[in-house]
Amino acid sequence: MTLGRLRRLEEAVAPTRLSTTLESLRPRTFLEFYGVAVIVVIVAAIAAAPLIAPDPLAQDLTSSLAGSSAEHWLGTDNLGRDLWARILYGGRVSVVIGVFVLLTAGAVGVLYGAVSGYAGGMVDAVMMRIVDIFLSFPSIMLALLISAALGPTIRNVIIAIAAAWWPVYARLIRGQVIVVKEREFVTASRALGAGPMRNLLLTVLPNSFGVMKTIFVLDIGYAILAGSTLGFLGLGVSAPTPEWGYMIREALQYPTHWWFILSPGLALMLFVSAINFAGGIVTRSVHEDPGR
Amino acid sequence: MSAGSHDAKALVEVEDLRVWFPTRRAPTAERRGYIKAVDGVAFTVRQGETLGLVGESGCGKTTTARAILKLLEPTEGRIMFDGVDLSTVSGRDLRLLRRRMQPVFQDPFASLNPKRTVARIVAEPLAIHRQGTRAQRRERVAELLDTVGLPPDAAGRFPHAFSGGQRQRIAIARAMALRPDLIVADEPVSSLDVSIRAQILNLMSDLQQEFRLTYVVIAHDLALVRQVTDRVAVMYLGNIVELRSTEDLYRRPLHPYTVALLSAVPIPDTEAEATRQRIVLEGDVPSPADPPSGCRFHTRCWLRRKLDNPDICSGETPPLTPIEDGGGAVACHFPDEVRTSSERRETLVTIGSR
Amino acid sequence: MKTPVAESRSEAASPGPDRPVLSVRDLDVTFRARSPVLAVRGVSYDLAAGEHVGLVGESGSGKSAGALALVRLLPDYADVSGTVMLDGADLLRLNERELRAVRGDQVGIVYQDPFSSLNPVLTIGKQLTEVLSKHKGLRARAARREAARLLETVGVPNAEERISDHPHQFSGGMRQRAVIAMAVAPRPALLIADEPTTALDVTVQAQILELLQELTSEHGTTMLLITHDLGVVAGVTQRLMVMYGGRIVEASTTEDVFARPAHPYTVALHRSLPRIDARQERLVTIEGQPPDPTRPIEGCPFAPRCPSRIDRCTVENPPLMTLPTARRATTAGWELPTISERDGNPVPGPASPHLTACWNPPLPEARSAGAGGAG
């Protein structure tokens, strides 16, 4: 009633979209600033890794398990490799896993869920039962199984996690599509003669992403965590390639050398929590989006 | 809006239209349940005229409109559009047909895709039907925006930047893009501000004259219906109870339900309001899943009570019968009693119909 | 919440038979947003006991925000200032607990959409008895009996049985009846009805209005009826206040506002209504759009759309003034009132004269021509 109308009034006077979007994506709270800043610093550092760190694979057994020094800022691991370099290069693996898991699982899940929701009826029922089967396994178990079967490469880790995750997106987007497809502008588009493909891709889907945006951003963090979990369990990226999860696993054997375990752990925590804080911006912008 | 001449040819012919929505699925026919939203409706819409559909919510007017637009399939009956049976067309032919009939919805906040610019919304029909080059479309959009009275810079903005009235103009521009013959408008102004309504109605009237449009307008505001329609179909529980020229309906209503509707119209005049006697319809509209026997209106009919509940009202369904003197048709067993009733006389005096 | 003390407070509390039940002074409502929405700007009025007063305006005029602000039912991002005196207490200064007691007990509210104002998972009876036990302290069985009786009074047939129905089993009209039953159960001093019939069919609308009128007259309840529909208020209210751009622009008896509208907006509104008595060649329109509530208005909010605008209108906002009498009307127009003649900012109330916020009110001939309805 009234408040709805007041909201519309606010909308009526809002500026055009692009500037609105940029404006709403500006961090406002301290945590949001912090999150964005940390992400920017980390991404910049791992991008510039070859410039600011030595070779992460170069072994020097004479100085293994050394503490912090001018040569090795964070010290070295059990094989005398520079930890600073390994953290940075390991970050690259994490970012690749995070982004590609999201892209893969997102693309598959969104397409699957959208088709299921838009088609409705029997098609929807069958497609959703398949999703239910996937969801009935704990996702980390599923990822472990797939990863173990495929073998330890970055590509396989991405496939394994994505395979465990897409059903969640399929579910989510299906729910949105079912709501949106009944909205009047979709009927209007149908009355104009738009076919189902056009309707789904150009009219329904763009209006179904609201919630997904938030979840996508937060899930990048969780995908990184999942990748590290696989690494920690020895089913992630294979040995010489630096990877945070696997580094923690290695470090566990040397509990007295605290910096060894602390640096990958801290890196993981900093990065994932920063993504979480920054995710708040997206949540807010989705909330404030008048066209949502 | 412009009066369609009486001998104009029919653009839309609706024959015995029934739209039932299943409420309960069951293997045997007797156990199945249906909401009989539209249950045996027949009328024609003549080229160039404005036909009004009025009635309380749940009377089936919106369902009828959607069936005409082939947005839902009739359970039974036939709808002919310019001589073509809608149920027989599909695929490419249907798309060509859709170009000729367009809806305008009630709520312009819901009927425009919020993620698109006005230019893309108005050009969408052109894009769907692959008309013109990009540049030509842009030109056509500018032309359409001008036709509906929006500034050219509206094209680059998103719907939320506009007020309700402006949004309805955008929706009308979209509907006009393919130069349709028929526009079906479901409560086109009821969600707009009072001071904006007249603007939109005048725009619709101008467009009708300029482009020889045919309108089917659904509205609950009877004062508005009198201003914009040439003929009116009054619906009750999925049936048409009276179908008359607008002037006849307001001056000489013949169905007790029509009289009751007219008597309920609020009048912006203190004196008229202070002295008027309203006909109170008892209870609610019965459920369309289980409509009353005989005349569907008999459970709430003031005339039936007055005539001491004759059996025929609950026993026999009155057909929509042509009226002897003058055009139109009415579905009542006792139209003469309505004609001579004091209720009708008082109602007509109150609304000052002349 | 800022609440500057209204200077006119003593005047509001002046004794007499028409001593106001509700006294609103300098009410401002602003919605905080990227661009703040100035919904209500400096609204003052009095309501006397038992009066039925209409607050008419279109969306964005501030009529609903202004009414909901009285009992602080606006969302957190609304800033409300001014004073709202009800029974000796300033509602804008009460704490949450005191306020809850006022809502329902002293002020009843009927919303536009009867479906969303009822809890869908509780039966109608349960929701009614809750109100009764909270506000009247009735025990379970007594409350249930009273609930059935109430439903009966508001015209729900078979009340005894239907009391165990859920809201979705009620039709729109019946739901609104139930909502009204709940609102009047505690016998509030003031009933705020916010577009109570907008979501209903015409046939039901008349009945609901009649019901509201009956119940409020019976208990001497003051009713503030908010609507955009001039037809709705014609038969139900004694006084009208017309809002535009967050301000009251005209106030008088309902009869006066209908027969002799004194603000160009009211006149235009009358003329643009489709008439049921005869077909017009072309509908009269009010050109332009309502004012943008995020921008401060210089001058009169209606000026950009006003046919009788004069230079002064665009620079100075006209306050509510007593309508100049006929002798002051010259052929050129009204003799413009000067500041000193404004008789100290009159406030719309039970005994106030015809007030208009216009520098150039319509001439008497134009005004009577503007009166709509059946002739």
User: What ipTM describes this predicted complex?
Assistant: 0.82
Q: What is the pLDDT of residue C112?
A: 80
With respect to residue A56, please indicate whether it lies within any of the assigned structural domains: no
Angstrom distances, CA of residue B218 to CA of A182, B53, B64: 21, 5, 10
* Closest Cα in chain A to B106: A184
DSSP A82: B
Q: How far apart are CA B168 and CA B179, in angstroms?
A: 17
pLDDT tens per residue, range B146-167 = 999 998 889 999 888 888 889 9
With respect to residue A118, please indicate whether it lies within any of the assigned structural domains: yes
Angstrom distances, CA of residue A25 to CA of A207, A275, C71: 19, 14, 36
Q: Mark the ranges of chain B whose per-residue pLDDT is less than 50.
A: 1-5
> Tokens 């838009």 appear where?
A118
- Residue C374, pLDDT > 50, answer no
Indicate which of A9, A11, A24, A287 best probes the interface with C, i.e. most C CBs within 10 Å of its own CB. A9
Q: Do C34 and A14 touch (CB under 8 A)?
A: yes
- Residue C9, pLDDT > 60, answer no
Q: What is the pLDDT of residue A21?
A: 63
> How many domains does chain C contain in total?
1
pLDDT tens per residue, range C203-246 = 888 888 888 988 898 889 999 999 988 888 888 899 999 999 99
Which residues from chain B sit within 8 angstroms of residue C231, using beta carbons? 265-268
Three-state secondary structure call for residue B157 = coil
Cβ pair B233, B54 in contact under 8 A = yes
Three-state secondary structure call for residue B29 = helix
Which candidate, B304, B266, B315, places its Cα nearest to that of B282? B304
Interfacial residues of C (vs A; Cβ cutoff 8 Å): 31, 33-35, 37, 39, 59-60, 64-65, 68, 74-75, 111-113, 116, 194-195, 292-294
Q: Are strands C20-31 and C37-48 parallel, antiparallel or unpaired?
A: antiparallel
Nearest-CB residue to C282 (from B164, B202, B264):
B202
Domain of residue A120, residue span = 25-49+72-288
Three-state secondary structure call for residue A196 = helix
What mean pLDDT is predicted for residues C106-126?
84
Q: What is the pLDDT of residue C365?
A: 56
Q: Do B269 and C234 touch (CB under 8 A)?
A: yes
Indicate which of B192, B267, B275, B299 best probes the interface with C, i.e. most C CBs within 10 Å of its own CB. B267
* Buried b / exposed e along B216-239 (16+ C-beta atoms within 10 A): bbbbbbbbbbbbbbbbbbbbbbbb
Q: Which of A175-189, A260-274, B249-263, C101-115 has the lowest mean pLDDT?
A: C101-115
Cβ pair B145, B123 in contact under 8 A = no
Q: Which of A232-236, B6-10, C248-252 has the lowest mean pLDDT?
A: B6-10
Domain of residue C122, residue span = 115-187
Whether A192 has its CB under 8 Å from any CB of chain B: the answer is yes
Cβ pair B39, B331 in contact under 8 A = no
pLDDT tens per residue, range B108-144 = 888 999 889 999 999 999 999 988 899 999 999 999 9
Q: How far apart are CA B260 and CA A14, in angstroms?
A: 45
Chain B nearest-CA distance from C291, in A, is 11
Average pLDDT, chain A: 83
3-state helix, strand, coil in chain C (%, to 5): 35, 20, 45
With respect to residue A13, please indicate whether it lies within any of the assigned structural domains: no
Q: How far apart are CA C150 and CA C159, in angstroms?
A: 9
Q: Six-digit token pair at A147? A: 């990863």
pLDDT tens per residue, range C62-82 = 888 898 899 888 888 889 999
Which residues from chain B sit within 8 angstroms of residue A206, using beta carbons? 113, 115
Q: Determine the angle formed by the axes of helices C124-136 and C140-153, rounding to 10 degrees.
A: 110
Nearest-CB residue to A185 (from B69, B101, B113):
B113
A281: Cβ contacts below 8 Å, ≥ 6 apart: A24, A25, A26, A27, A28, A32, A35, A36
Nearest-CB residue to A10 (from C33, C59, C113):
C33
Task: Tell me the count of A-C CB pairs closer than 8 A.
Answer: 39
* Closest Cα in chain C to A8: C60
Whether A4 has its CB under 8 Å from any CB of chain C: the answer is no
What mean pLDDT is predicted for residues A253-263?
81
Q: Do A6 and C39 touch (CB under 8 A)?
A: yes
Nearest-CB residue to A193 (from B117, B129, B160):
B129
Q: Do A185 and B112 touch (CB under 8 A)?
A: yes
Partners of C90 in the β-ladder: C85
Q: Six-digit token pair at A11? A: 């909308």
* Closest Cα in chain A to C30: A6
Which residues from chain B sit within 8 angstroms of residue A17, using beta carbons? 117, 158
Q: Do A13 and C60 touch (CB under 8 A)?
A: no
Whether A292 has its CB under 8 Å from any CB of chain B: the answer is yes
Which residues from chain B sit within 8 angstroms of residue A12, using beta carbons? 160-163
Nearest-CB residue to B224 (from C255, C274, C373):
C274
Q: How far apart are CA C100 and CA C89, in angstroms?
A: 13
Q: How far apart are CA C355 and CA C342, in angstroms?
A: 11
What mean pLDDT is predicted for residues C187-194?
92
Stated pTM of the model: 0.81
Indicate which of A10, A11, A288, A289 best probes the interface with C, i.e. most C CBs within 10 Å of its own CB. A10
With respect to residue A17, please indicate whether it lies within any of the assigned structural domains: no
Nearest-CB residue to B161 (from A14, A185, A191):
A14
Q: What is the pLDDT of residue A14?
A: 40
- Going by pLDDT thresholds of 50, 70 and 90, the confidence category of residue C174 is confident
Three-state secondary structure call for residue A70 = coil
Whether A213 has its CB under 8 Å from any CB of chain B: the answer is no
Q: Do A185 and B162 touch (CB under 8 A)?
A: no
Which residues from chain C sit within 8 angstroms of residue B224, using beta carbons? 274
- Residue C324, pLDDT > 70, answer no
CA C236 to mean position of chain CA atoms: 12
Which residues from chain B sit within 8 angstroms of residue A188, using beta carbons? 103, 105, 111-112, 171, 174
Chain B nearest-CA distance from C271, in A, is 10
Choose the CATH number for B7-100+182-236 among 3.40.920.10, 3.40.50.300, 1.10.3210.10, 2.60.40.10.
3.40.50.300
DSSP codes, B23-34? EE--SSGGG-EE
Q: Six-digit token pair at A130? A: 């398949």
Q: Do B105 and A188 touch (CB under 8 A)?
A: yes
Angstrom distances, CA of residue B330 to CA of B321, B322, C204, C276: 5, 7, 24, 21
Cβ pair B184, B103 in contact under 8 A = yes
Q: Which class for A255: exposed (0-12), middle (13-18), buried (19 or more C-beta within 10 A)?
A: exposed
Chain A nearest-CA distance from B163, in A, is 6
Chain B nearest-CA distance from A140, in A, is 36
Q: How far apart are CA B4 and CA B216, in angstroms?
A: 13
Q: What is the pLDDT of residue B26?
A: 65
With respect to residue A245, please indicate whether it lies within any of the assigned structural domains: yes
Q: Which chains touch A (3 or more CB pairs under 8 A)?
A: B, C
- Going by pLDDT thresholds of 50, 70 and 90, the confidence category of residue A85 is confident
Q: What is the pLDDT of residue C99?
A: 87
pLDDT tens per residue, range C278-320 = 788 788 888 888 888 888 888 899 999 998 888 888 998 888 8
Which candidate, B330, C355, C159, C141, places its Cα nearest to that of B344? B330
Q: Which chains touch B (3 or more CB pairs under 8 A)?
A: A, C
Cβ pair C132, C147 in contact under 8 A = yes
* Buried b / exposed e along B15-46 (16+ C-beta atoms within 10 A): bebbbbeeeeeeeeeeeeebbbbbbbbbbbbb
With respect to residue C166, please indicate whether it lies within any of the assigned structural domains: yes
Which residues from chain B sit within 8 angstroms of residue C373, using beta carbons? 267-272, 352
DSSP B152: G
Quick one: residue C16, left, alpha or beta (phi over 0 = left, psi -120 to 50 = alpha)? left
With respect to residue A145, please indicate whether it lies within any of the assigned structural domains: yes
Which residues from chain B sit within 8 angstroms of residue C279, using beta carbons? 226-227, 246-247
Which residues from chain B sit within 8 angstroms of residue A13, using beta carbons? 161
* Closest Cα in chain C to B285: C171
Which residues from chain A sit within 8 angstroms of residue C66, using beta carbons? none
Q: Are strands C107-110 and C190-194 parallel, antiparallel or unpaired?
A: parallel
Chain C nearest-CA distance from A15, in A, is 10
Please list the alpha-helical segments (H only) found in A67-209. Answer: 83-119, 121-135, 139-150, 154-180, 184-191, 196-198
Q: Six-digit token pair at C257? A: 């506002």
Give the domain CATH number at A280. 1.10.3720.10
Q: Six-digit token pair at C129? A: 């008895």
Which residues from chain B sit within 8 angstroms of residue A204, using beta carbons? none
Q: Which class for B102: exposed (0-12), middle (13-18), buried (19 or more C-beta within 10 A)?
A: buried
Cβ pair C324, C272 in contact under 8 A = no
Q: What angle do CA A73, A77, A78 make, to 5 degrees?
A: 150
pLDDT more than 90, % of chain C:
24
* Closest Cα in chain B to A4: B109
What mean pLDDT is predicted for residues C265-274?
87
In which element (H, E) is residue C99 found?
A: helix C96-105
Cβ pair A56, A88 in contact under 8 A = yes
- Residue C322, pLDDT > 50, answer yes
What mean pLDDT is predicted for residues A125-135?
93
Which residues from chain B sit within 8 angstroms of residue A291, using beta carbons? 114-115, 158-160
Which residues from chain B sit within 8 angstroms of residue C282, using beta carbons? 202, 205
> How many domains does chain A contain in total?
1
Three-state secondary structure call for residue B283 = coil
Which candidate, C52, C51, C30, C28, places its Cα nearest to that of C41? C28
Q: What is the pLDDT of residue B7?
A: 59
Q: Which of A133-147, B22-36, B127-141, C94-108 has the lowest mean pLDDT?
A: B22-36
Q: Do B195 and C231 touch (CB under 8 A)?
A: no
Cβ pair B119, B161 in contact under 8 A = no
DSSP C1: -
A249: Cβ contacts below 8 Å, ≥ 6 apart: A231, A232, A233, A234
